[in-house]
Amino acid sequence: MFDSLLNAFRAPDIRRRILFVLGILVVFRLLAQIPLPGVDHAALAAFFQRSSAFTVIDLFAGGGLSQLSIVGLAMNPYINASIIMQLMTGVIPSLQNLSREGEYGRQKLNQYTRYLTVPMALLQAFGILSAFSSQGVLDPSGGFGLGNPASWVQMITLTAGAVLLMWLGELITEKGIGNGISFIIFAGIVSRAPAGLVNVLQQPSPRDILLFLLLAVVAVGVIVYIQEGQRRIPIQYASRVRGRRMYQGGSTFLPLRVNQAGVIPIIFAVSILLFPSQIAQYFTTSQVQIVAQISQAIVNFFANTTVYAILYFLLTVGFTYFYTAFTFKPDETAEQLRKNGGFIPGIRPGRPTQDYLARVVFRITIAGAFFLGIVAVSPYIVTAILPQLGGLGLGGTGILIVVSVVVETMKQIEAQLMMRNYEGFIR
């Protein structure tokens, strides 16, 4: 890995791409330090200490939400818009046809995703600011609402920050290396590492520090092992004649990853868990007593750490299967194999191949789903088993994102270096 990085910096074009990415990430971190006007930061810190749902959302915001900066929404609106577009592409025929039109279709779908990001950002800004207002985090003058011009300023500022980050992420994807959206999330998570390191060093017992480091190393190793794990389905191609040419058959494999869904199920689960309490918190100050009591009961229900962790785990497992069903379609894969003259040894083409792929994906997704579920609730498990490590910031979701981004980026750098070698050989 280190050899690849050194070789990348020796190549002028790759070095420019890496420095461009670093420059954009510096801009992002500067924006994350600009606070939103009208915020009581002491009340904001107290709110995050008792809200587990918003703490998880703040993980994807890179700490911008806990500081309520102008980029406090981070990439959440764009991610949610992307998820919605992916789901709509799977059920709307016109979008399905557009996704099959190559580069033009991809650009149109990206354009629709950008358009959808704006209303998603407005809705999320309204919901989050409403929840903060009910907890006394925002300036009470005039009250938060659509009739207050100050509230519109805050919502539009958060929306503009989300759109700006979306643009910066696309710049990284276009002119840098790797996926820009993942890099911005990665930078936000890594920016919290110094505070976590300080908490580790403040532990009075060297045993606790060694235990934390051991858990971190084991977590990284398990995540890399599962993320890179795949089931290779052997594929055999028969010899075929096209026109006057005969193409020799061969053998290859179809890689099916254990975790095909990535971190999308965790984002789904967080969004679903956050929504009821976020809406209920807005009505806890209602003048109607029964409405205020029901709203407070909902908030207390989701504030229970045990209940929240169980629901978080179950939703993550369920959404892993749900998202995998949208991203991998056994019928389309079987049809493509049949058209190209490929088949799985011992399995007849057509419907038997489709059923076989569906069974294999279902079985390997069990491991991927439980892996993501355990990663999602790992902070609660560590806190329950080892209370002394509860405040050290050992978040499985954060480690999963960081490791995934690093692995994928290194793969792209190695691909760029290999391409340069081939170009030099051709010359």
Residue 134 lies in a domain: yes
Q: Are residues 185 and 238 in the same domain?
A: no
Say whether 162 sits in a helix, a strand or coil. Answer: helix
Please tell me the pTM assigned to this model. Answer: 0.75
Residue 408 lies in a domain: no
Q: CA separation (Å) from 89 to 95, 104, 182, 261, 266?
A: 5, 15, 22, 16, 21
Q: Are residues 316 and 273 in the same domain?
A: yes
Ranking 29-38, 172-181, 262-271 by mean pLDDT, the lowest is 262-271
Q: Are residues 137 and 57 in the same domain?
A: yes
Q: CA separation (Å) from 168 to 141, 164, 183, 206, 411?
A: 34, 6, 10, 42, 22
Domain boundary among 191, 224, 256: 191
Q: Are residues 303 and 349 in the same domain?
A: yes
Q: Are residues 227 and 309 in the same domain?
A: yes
The whole-number average pLDDT for the span 234-241 is 75
Rounded to whole angstroms, the Cα distance separating 96 from 141 reads: 49
Taken in order 51, 52, 54, 55, the sign of the CA dihedral is positive
- Our count of domains for the chain comes to 2
How high does pLDDT run on average in the chain?
Answer: 79
Q: Are residues 177 and 214 in the same domain?
A: no
Q: Are residues 164 and 248 in the same domain?
A: no
Which pLDDT value is given to residue 240? 64
Which pLDDT value is given to residue 159? 93
Q: Are residues 212 and 120 in the same domain?
A: no
Structural domain that includes position 357: 205-394
Which pLDDT value is given to residue 118? 93
Rounded to whole angstroms, the Cα distance separating 277 from 274 reads: 6
The tokens describing 156, both together, are 């539009």
The whole-number average pLDDT for the span 158-170 is 91
Residue 424 lies in a domain: no
Task: Quick: pLDDT tens for 244-295.
Answer: 666 666 788 888 888 887 777 887 787 777 777 767 766 776 777 888 888 8
Residue 321 lies in a domain: yes
Asked if the model's pLDDT at residue 389 lies above 60, the reply is no
Asked if the model's pLDDT at residue 162 lies above 50, the reply is yes
Q: Are residues 239 and 118 in the same domain?
A: no
Rounded to whole angstroms, the Cα distance separating 326 from 1 reads: 34
Residue 412 lies in a domain: no
Task: Quick: pLDDT tens for 320-352.
Answer: 888 888 778 888 888 888 887 788 888 888 888
Residue 243 lies in a domain: yes
Which pLDDT value is given to residue 53? 62
Domain boundary among 191, 219, 244: 191
Asked if the model's pLDDT at residue 304 lies above 50, the reply is yes
Q: Are residues 181 and 227 in the same domain?
A: no
Q: Are residues 186 and 213 in the same domain?
A: no
Which pLDDT value is given to residue 163? 92
Residue 126 lies in a domain: yes
Q: Are residues 186 and 214 in the same domain?
A: no
Which pLDDT value is given to residue 204? 60
Domain CATH number, residue 123: 1.10.3370.10
Domain boundary among 191, 218, 250: 191
Residue 314 lies in a domain: yes
Rounded to whole angstroms, the Cα distance separating 255 from 252 reads: 10
Which pLDDT value is given to residue 273? 78
